[in-house]
Amino acid sequence: MELVRISAPGWPLDPRFNILKSASAPQEKLSTLEVEDPPPYLKGDELLGKQRKVYLETYGCQMNVNDTEIAWSILQKSGYLRTRNLQEADVILLVTCSIREKAEQTIWNRLRQLKVLKTRRLRTQVPLRIGILGCMAERLKEDILNREKIVDLLAGPDAYRDLPWLLAVTESGQQAANVLLSLDETYADVMPVQTSPSATSAFVSIMRGCDNMCSYCIVPFTRGRERSRPVASILEEVKKLSEQGLKEVTLLGQNVNSFRDTSEVHFNNAVSTNLSRGFTANYKAKQGGLRFAHLLDQVSRVDPEMRIRFTSPHPKDFPDEVLQLIHERDNICKQIHLPAQSGSSRVLETMRRGYSREAYVELIHHIRESIPGVSLSSDFIAGFCGETEEDHLQTVSLLREVQYNTGFLFAYSMRQKTRAYHRLKDDVPEEVKLRRLEELITVFREEARKANKTAVGCTQLVLVEGHSKRSAADLCGRNDGNLKVIFPDTEVEDITSPGLKARAQPGDYVLVKITSASSQTLRGCVLGRTTLKDFSASC
């Protein structure tokens, strides 16, 4: 493959971006293409996106939602305009996921649809540019450019700062790419632009990458190694979100509770926290830095009326100080995501998860003792390499034993580059994977329905998000445990101002008496508007 760098008089060479010319050469080589008179859009950042409209589509996890906001923040500062009309877009950017084969197939199908749109573009119009961002760009690289000639741009998760330059390069008709992973990029100085103006909550990325190297997981290879943002930059972002009126933030990271800020020298001697009892890590313990408990403490102090959540954690990183803090702070939600992946100790060892079933169950009991009424969610994989029917039944029994409120269950999908790809055999037939997955889903729903029914008759604090998708006569919101709650849209009394009645609005806290429950949703009647502080004081 030949990588070509552009240079021009009066335009300093920027080594961060390259143009992929062809895939004919067996090895990469770098040359420089001299341009005597570059077009105006290559002469300054302020002109790069002039009059260009960008359309953004997001696929996959919450990190991709946050990445979309980061990418838009960068493009907006370079003069790009945002459109939600696909037909009028000059640039279409897909923020992609590679965690499973199905996620990638969704993008390939979408590209075939966009090919029709691109070929129909009138010659009198600005040519339509299509870009692939995120994990799929990092994982497949040249395959995308060679297989789908309509793709003009690739930008990996650590290359969003280069989007204006990469797009400028595509103006010359070339394909452009930067998929290099970084050891230090956290976008700490980039303030994400909320992509939903009416949102009541936001995601705040606190760290990127992962060091766990679970044998099934592609994340360390598409998003790189762990690195954390400075605490100060996170607090600044949370404060701005509070000033904008948002009522909930979710702290994000691939391994969010392994957060470790070493940005300042005097933090480096801080005492490291211990792992959860019975858990081990696949990497050497890292010393120093401000840890997750410190960050959670500081974030929860920004605004007592702002709920704090975090995802996705690893079970090994739940020391007692984190659990105690969740228990003590009224605005840290009593909801913990605790990915199990399997209920079989043998499979967990093959997955390189660093714990046994027994250690995981002991942690569950410890969490429930430390945080009464905690809501639990988890991830499970059906049909991992070498999984037997007995292993599968162990997972079924774990679902029954723990009785999660929320679950995310998937059939195993082999990913290139992972340890499983190189050392294990994907030997569970597809039909068996799907049958086991359906059994897990059925059991999960049965147990979640039982768990959620314990809320019937209770009064819960709900943060209003908006109208229910199924009925304009109902509002929906989420309780402390992150379960969706549906209730009638009627005038209610403001409990903090007796005699004042009004309809609840997105961003309001309301008291809802739960009248029924399913495996995924609660229903109830609204009693009135309140505040988080007043609700906590009455409990």
Residue 195's nearest CA partner among 325, 106, 64 is 64
What CA–CA distance (Å, rounded) separates 500 from 341?
A: 49
What CA–CA distance (Å, rounded) separates 499 from 251?
A: 38
What CA–CA distance (Å, rounded) separates 127 from 92?
A: 11
CB of 464 closer than 8 Å to CB of 475: yes
Exposure string for 242-280, b = 16+ CB within 10 A, e = fewer: eeeebbbbbbbbbbbbbbbbbbeeebeebeebebbebbe
pLDDT grade for 273, boundaries at 50, 70 and 90: low
Query: Residue 9, SS3?
Result: coil
Query: Residue 137, SS3?
Result: helix
Report the residue count for the chain: 539
Angle of CA points 240, 244, 245, to nearest 5°:
120
CB of 249 closer than 8 Å to CB of 243: no
> Which of residues 463 and 143 earns the better pLDDT score?
463
Residue 153's nearest CA partner among 73, 66, 69, 94 is 94
Q: Which domains does the chain have, with CATH numbers?
A: 44-178 (3.40.50.12160), 201-263+272-452 (3.80.30.20), 458-537 (2.40.50.140)
What CA–CA distance (Å, rounded) separates 510 from 532?
A: 9
CB of 11 closer than 8 Å to CB of 47: no
Q: What is the mean pLDDT of the chain?
A: 87
Angle, helices 357-370/320-328, rounded to nearest 10 degrees? 30
Task: Indicate whether 8 pLDDT > 70.
Answer: no
Residue 96's nearest CA partner among 134, 130, 129, 138 is 134
Window from 53-57, 160-164, 272-276, 405-409 with minimum mean pLDDT = 272-276
Residue 17's nearest CA partner among 213, 176, 133, 131 is 176
What CA–CA distance (Å, rounded) separates 14 from 168?
A: 13
Question: What's the average model confidence in pLDDT over 324-343?
Answer: 97
* pLDDT tens column, 57-84: 999 888 899 999 999 999 999 999 999 9
Residue 16: its pLDDT value, please? 35
What does the longest C-alpha to C-alpha distance in the chain come to? 77
What CA–CA distance (Å, rounded) separates 523 from 515?
A: 6
* pLDDT tens column, 527-538: 999 999 999 988
How many CB atoms are closer than 10 A to CB 469? Answer: 9
pTM over 0.95: no
Residue 312's nearest CA partner among 356, 254, 267, 384 is 254
What CA–CA distance (Å, rounded) separates 230 from 260?
A: 9
What CA–CA distance (Å, rounded) separates 330 from 373?
A: 13
DSSP string, 335-395: EEE---B-S-HHHHHHHT-S--HHHHHHHHHHHHHHSTT-EEEEEEEES-TT--HHHHHHH
Residue 120: its pLDDT value, please? 85
Instruction: Mention every residue, 6+ apart, whose C-beta is less than 8 A from residue 358.
Output: 278, 345
pLDDT grade for 267, boundaries at 50, 70 and 90: low
For 212, the token pair is: 């766990």
Residue 61: its pLDDT value, please? 86
For 9, the token pair is: 């008089």
Task: Indicate whether 42 pLDDT > 70.
Answer: no
What CA–CA distance (Å, rounded) separates 242 from 200?
A: 10
Residue 500: its pLDDT value, please? 83
Residue 36: its pLDDT value, please? 36
Residue 406's nearest CA partner among 365, 460, 439, 445 is 445
Residue 103's nearest CA partner among 149, 140, 145, 142 is 140
Instruction: Mention every residue, 6+ apart, whose C-beta is less than 8 A from residue 306.
Output: 238, 241, 242, 246, 247, 248, 249, 331
What CA–CA distance (Å, rounded) separates 268 from 173?
A: 48
For 361, the token pair is: 């169950």
* pLDDT tens column, 91-128: 999 999 888 888 889 999 999 999 999 988 867 678 89
Residue 268: its pLDDT value, please? 58
SS (H, E, C) 402-467: HCCCEEEEEECCCCCCCHHHHHCCCCCCHHHHHHHHHHHHHHHHHHHHHHHHCCCCCEEEEEEEEE
Phi and psi for 400 in degrees, rounded to 5? Answer: -70, -40
* pLDDT tens column, 176-204: 999 999 999 999 999 988 766 678 999 99
pLDDT grade for 45, boundaries at 50, 70 and 90: very low
